Chain A
Amino acid sequence: MNAAEPQGRRPHRLTVGRIGVYAFLATSALFFLLPLWIMVMTSLKPMEEIRLGNILALPAAMTFEAWTKAWSSACTGLECNGISVGFWNSVRILIPSVILSIIAGAVNGYALSFWRVKGANVMFGILLLGAFIPYQVFLYPLVRIFSLTGVYNSLLCIVVVHVIFGLPTMTLLFRNYYAGLPLELFKAARIDGGGFWSIFFRVILPMSTPIIVVAAILQVTGIWNDFIFGLTFAGRQNLPMTVQLNNIVNSTQGERAYNVDMAATMLAALVPLVVYFVSGRWFVRGIAAGAVKG
């Protein structure tokens, strides 16, 4: 973000307008932070205090027990190891899925924007419509397809599923980004005798950093938070962290420890949060490069 300079006016003094700007931002921030406040407060209270129902109050007897419990000792069935159990499974699903779906998106986007292939745009249109269908509709037929091919319930299977469902978004992102790149670069490379792949690797890919970061952020959020695909396709040995999270927060008939629920949810969101924070500047600049130019 620092890299791209703000375009607004730059007053030097604290004027009424400046105060107004900060007042607006602070008020909005309060609205956005409200549920977080409730969650943090709840996570720091013992259950007796939560039952009283003063959701906005500061804890009378503050305790971090719920946090440690959520991470490492809450029961999620027979095992009582908190949500930390699935952390590495989630990482193992996340990394190949993000990388592969970005590669697929980049290659598709490149082929769609610079090369004329018959029917490619029709294919893309259908893909785009697919982004609007609730995933759950796909589950049953996909299970049948995967069990026929013998990869059902494996790491490979869940990665392939994430790549498949990332295709519309990723293709769209890259296609639009590439369409905004100056065509002269591509022409020059063609005159130099570059082929499909050599132009992609030598010319196009080096220029794709911002959009790759954008794509990575979107995919990290989506895949990290996925529950239903992981549950259906990953197999028991690979269940992601969200399955443990769901086990903690979503029991139908069991008693509920809201403090642990809240702590677990915040812990589970840490990875995407860190990704947002670290790559914020790229995130914004990448989208700008992809969708504003041209």
Chain B
Amino acid sequence: MDTISIRAPSVSPSGTKIRRSLRTRLPAAIALLPTALIVLVVYIGCMLWTVRLSFTSSTLLPKLDWFGVTQYTRLFANDRFVTSAENIFIFGALFISGCLIIGFLLAVFIDQNVRGEGLFRTIFLYPFSMSFVVTGVAWQWFLNPALGLQKLVRDMGFETFTFDWIVNQRMAIYTIVIAGLWHGSGLTMAIMLAGLRGVDKDLWKAAKIDGIPTWRVYTSVVLPLLRPMVVTAVVLLATGVVKLYDLVVAMTLGGPGIATEVPAKFVMDHLFERNNIGLGTAAATMMLITVVIVLAPWVYVRYVRPQGSHA
């Protein structure tokens, strides 16, 4: 999962005067040049290359013929891709909201001046450091009805207890969400905790004097103050959602059936395993378009448009 922090740039018209001179701005432009080249060659270049390949009949190696929109017709007729698209929205919604809620709660509770704070924090954060290839096996075992929780509870005498989501086509995607929450809420907790530590001390004093219950202060005063943190966390989690792959491969390999397939896995399988670069890049292009549609307005409002007033 990639990590990104985002907040609104501070708007300060007073800086305009200083930053006006073209001569002094030249070193800044030079400093940005390598990144600009990378954006141009690597990011834009690779995006265009991907889009171009989606209109070809490429299989194992890319070739630049013209295949029309055939790959897209195939893509939309492919029920695995359709399922993948549905799954990513289910997963995305539950994963992002779940991480925010759990992360926020953990942060609030950890912030109650508890003993062993460092220990708790490390426990909540450690899943982030581990490769999913094997932690996924541990989850797979625990969720498996014959090995894990269901067996444990039944062995304790509750013969009818059933927890078989991972082998159930309708429920399996939610087991991916559970493991995702395990992996992602620690980092969200850290970000939220950082936010809580930034809240003004006087605010707490004032609230205490006014006799407002602590939970009310958190929900009505602190939470709105944490807005930049929430945005940071959401973007960070969203990149993880779009790239979701390892987790699914380690836990279900897309199964039972195609119940837990996701778009990134569709792309990877077709690019590498199935030697179907044409279809794989068409799926990648669709993902790209979706991300652009969802994000472009936000990126524009936050980062591109403020140029005029900010600098």
Contact = CB atoms under 8 A, between A and B. Distances in A.
Interface stretch (A25-33, A72-80, A86-94): A25-33
B131 A242 contact: yes
Contact of A137 (B18, B105, B281): B281
B75 interface: no
B65 interface: no
B131 A225 contact: yes
A242 B288 CA distance: 28
Contacts of B46: 133, 137-138, 141-142
Contacts of A221: 3, 128-129
Interface in B206-255: 208, 214, 226, 228-229, 232, 238-239, 242-243, 245
B129 to A, nearest CB: 4
Interface in B259-301: 264, 267-268, 271-272, 281, 284, 287-288, 291-292, 295-296, 299-300
Given A127-B39, A258-B137, A136 B142 contact: no
A129 B32 contact: no
- Tell me the interface secondary structure of chain A in the complex: helix
B19 A291 contact: no
Interface in A104-128: 104, 107-108, 110-128
Interface in B92-111: 102, 105-106, 108-111
A195 B106 CA distance: 45
Nearest to A37: B138
A25 B109 contact: yes
Interface residues of B, number: 117
Contacts of A137: 46, 50, 267, 271, 281, 284
B91 interface: no
Nearest to A274: B129
Contacts of A8: 108, 111-113, 196, 204, 214
B72 interface: no
Contacts of A1: 117-118, 121
A132 interface: yes
A241 to B, nearest CB: 10
Contacts of A180: 7, 10
Contacts of B108: 8
A133 B280 CA distance: 13
B7 A9 contact: no
Given A141-B49, A221-B128, A294 B7 contact: yes
A262 B12 contact: no
Interface in A130-165: 130-138, 140-142, 145, 164
B170 interface: no
B126 A276 contact: yes
A4 B107 CA distance: 14
A168 interface: yes
A53 B152 CA distance: 11
Contacts of B110: 25
Nearest to A168: B4
10 contacts: A7-B204, A28-B102, A32-B186, A55-B141, A117-B25, A126-B39, A167-B38, A175-B9, A197-B27, A269-B126
Given A1-B118, A128-B303, A292-B226, 11 more contacts: A28-B124, A32-B126, A104-B34, A114-B311, A116-B20, A169-B4, A172-B4, A177-B5, A186-B15, A265-B133, A268-B131
